[in-house]
Amino acid sequence: MDKREMNRREFIKRSAACAAYATAGMALSGLVGPYAGADQAPDIVLANGSPGPAAWAAVKALGGMQRFVRPGDRVVIKPNMSFPNPPDWATTTHPEVVRALTEMCIKAGAGSVLVLDNPLRNPELCVERSGLKAACGDLPQAQIEGITNRRFFEEVKVPEGKALKATMIMKAVLEANVLIAAPVAKSHSATGVSLAMKGMMGLIYDRMAFHLDLDLDEAVVDLCTVLRPKLTVIDASRLLSEGGPGGPGKVIKLNKVIASTDMVAADAMAVEQGTWYGRKFKAKQVKHVRIAHQRGLGNLEVKSQIVKEVSA
Partner 1 sequence: MRFQRFLQIPLFALFLLLLGLAAYPLPSWLPVDLFLRLDPLLSLGSMATARAFIPRVAWSLLVIGLTLFVGRLFCGYICPMGATIDFADWVSGRKQKERMRNSFEASGRFRNFKYLFLVALGGTTLIGVSSIFFFSPLSLITRFYSFVLWPLALMTANLILDTSRFLFPWIGMKELAFFRFSVPVFNTNLFVGSLVVAILALGLIRSRFWCRNLCPAGAIFALFSFRPLFKRKVSEGCTNCGLCLRSCPMGAIGEDFVATAHSECIACLKCREICPEKAISFKVARKAPAPVPEIDLNRREILSAGLTGVAAAAVAMTNLNHLHGAEAPRALRSSRLIRPPGALPEPAFQARCVRCGECVKGCLTNTLQPVWLEAGITGLWTPKITARLAGCEQNCNVCGHLCPTGAIRPMDLEEKKFAKVGTAHIIKSRCIAWEQDKKCLICDEICPYNAISSQLVPGRPVTVPVIDENKCNGCGYCENKCPVIGESAILVEPLGELRLATGSYQEKARELGLVFHAKAGVEDHFILNAGEAYERSIQRSPAVKDKEGVIPLPPGFVPE
Q: Which residues bind partner 1 (CB under 8 A)?
A: 84, 88-89, 112, 120-122, 125, 129, 143, 145, 147, 149, 151-152, 172, 187-193, 208, 211-212, 216-217, 242-243, 245-251, 276-279, 281-282, 284-288, 290
Q: Is 287 exposed, middle or buried (0-12, 13-18, 19+ CB in 10 A)?
A: middle
**Shortest Å distance, C-beta 243 to partner 1:** 5
Q: Which is nearer to partner 1, 42 or 245 (CB)?
A: 245
**Shortest Å distance, C-beta 131 to partner 1:** 14
**Shortest Å distance, C-beta 227 to partner 1:** 19
Side chain identity, residue 226? V
**Shortest Å distance, C-beta 124 to partner 1:** 8
**Shortest Å distance, C-beta 24 to partner 1:** 27
Q: Which is nearer to partner 1, 71 or 140 (CB)?
A: 140
5 CB contacts (<8 Å, ≥6 apart)? 296
Give the closest residue to 101 by CA, choosing from 208, 235, 226. 235
* End-to-end C-alpha distance for the chain, whole angstroms: 29
CA distances from 26 to 23, 137, 210, 302 (A): 8, 45, 44, 16
Find residue 169's DSSP bridge partners.
Answer: 154, 204
Q: Which is nearer to partner 1, 129 or 303 (CB)?
A: 129
DSSP 85-140: --GGGSSS--HHHHHHHHHHHHHTT-SEEEEEE--SS-HHHHHHHTSHHHHHTT-T
Q: Which is nearer to partner 1, 50 or 189 (CB)?
A: 189
**Shortest Å distance, C-beta 89 to partner 1:** 6
Give the C-alpha separation, 111 to 154, whole Å: 23
On whether the CB atoms of residues 191 and 217 are closer than 8 A, the answer is yes
**Shortest Å distance, C-beta 310 to partner 1:** 29
Q: Which is nearer to partner 1, 107 or 280 (CB)?
A: 280
**Shortest Å distance, C-beta 82 to partner 1:** 10
DSSP 55-100: HHHHHHHTT-GGGT--TT-EEEEEE---S---GGGSSS--HHHHHH
Q: Which is nearer to partner 1, 22 or 125 (CB)?
A: 125
Task: Using only the alpha carbons of the chain, give its radius of gyration.
Answer: 18
DSSP assigned state of 300: -
Q: Which is nearer to partner 1, 242 or 262 (CB)?
A: 242
Q: Which is nearer to partner 1, 91 or 232 (CB)?
A: 91
Q: What is the largest CA-CA distance in the chain?
A: 58
